[in-house]
Amino acid sequence: MKKTEKTIETTVVETVATVKGRKINPESARQKRLAERAAKGTVIKGRPVKAESARQKRLAELSAKRESGELKKGRPVSGESARQKRIAEREMKAQAGTLKKGRPAKVKEVSDVVELEKGEVVEAEVIEEVKAPVKKASKKK
């Protein structure tokens, strides 16, 4: 049995050497216990969990609700809000194929309706651009 203990100790020394952080004494009683547990496969890390605790009960309820579909993440959506109505209207237009994409075109004003000699009515379109005077920034010293 002592031979197996020696092989366990040597493997611990090799694995400890590659771990970053503070130095660990592989000959300490704690390191020997951990090496024995690792060989058995019963390494326990962290704090034990109490299944009867209030938090564990709440987590179990939440996971059950998620699986059944009752619990959803985020803020609930009101279907009567103005934004939801706009979104629904846009979806209907997209399905119908009448949704216009991109930025809206420049607004054109119809200024005059000209009647030709033959009786045809033609609309003359005038695009008015209002240019604001550009102010140059003055440098203050």
In 3D, which of 107, 112, 109 has the Cα closest to residue 124? 112
Tens digit of each residue's pLDDT (9 = 90 or more) over 23-73: 889 999 999 998 999 999 888 888 888 999 999 999 999 999 999 988 888
The DSSP code for 64 is H
- Cα end-to-end span (Å), the chain: 89
Tens digit of each residue's pLDDT (9 = 90 or more) over 94-134: 999 888 888 877 776 655 444 545 555 555 544 445 455 55
Does the pLDDT value for residue 1 go beyond 50?
no
Note the pLDDT of residue 75. 87
The DSSP code for 128 is -
Task: Classify the phi-psi angles of 102: left when phi > 0, otherwise alpha if psi is within -120 to 50, otherwise beta.
Answer: left
pTM above 0.85, yes or no: no
Does the pLDDT value for residue 136 go beyond 90?
no
The tokens for 66 are 């998620």
Q: Please state, in angstroms and rounded to a whole number, the distance separating the CA atoms of residues 17 and 23.
A: 9
Does the pLDDT value for residue 20 go beyond 50?
yes
Choose between 73 and 6: higher pLDDT. 73
Q: Please state, in angstroms and rounded to a whole number, the distance separating the CA atoms of residues 6 and 11.
A: 9
Note the pLDDT of residue 62. 92
Q: Residues 51, 55, 58, CA angle at the centre, nearest 5°?
A: 95
pLDDT bin (cut points 50, 70, 90) of residue 13 is: very low
